[in-house]
Each structure stands twice: as C-alpha cells, then as structure tokens.
Amino acid sequence: MTVSHVARLHGLNANQVFTWRRQYQNGSLTAVSAAEEVVPASALTAAMK
C-alpha cells in the first residue's frame, strides 16, 4: 500500500502527506504536549469575527 493510496482513502492530497512526513523527519512538525492549552476551532473562528 502506497502513501498516495492511503492519502486518497482519507480524502487527503498525497503531497500534503509527503510534506507532513518531511516535516516530521526534519523535526519541524511537533505534536501538542499534554500540558499545553489548546483552543477548539469553533472558539478560534468566533474570536476572529
């Protein structure tokens, strides 16, 4: 199974998946830590209005 196939299965563009993979390998893609505060997308959208 290829990256392109998996991307299509999930409705993603394969180029985006390759970009994420490259960012992860370079260490520039980081996850949110357990202690980090996050804002729901709906709250962000409301705040930007």
7-41 pLDDT, tens per residue?
A: 999 999 999 999 999 999 999 988 777 788 888 88
Res 35: pLDDT:
83
| 21 occurs within a structural domain | yes
Torsion sign, CA atoms 9, 17, 44, 34: positive
Res 30: pLDDT:
80
| 1 occurs within a structural domain | yes
Res 7: pLDDT:
94
Q: DSSP label at 7? A: H
| 12 occurs within a structural domain | yes
- Whole-angstrom distance, CA of residue 42 vs CA of residue 44: 5
33-to-3, 4, 7, 8, 18 alpha-carbon distances in Å: 27, 29, 26, 29, 23
Number of domains in the chain: 1
| 10 occurs within a structural domain | yes
pTM, two decimals, is: 0.56
Res 16: pLDDT:
95
Q: Could you list the residue range(s) of the whole structural domain that residue 7 is in? A: 1-29
| 42 occurs within a structural domain | no
| 47 occurs within a structural domain | no
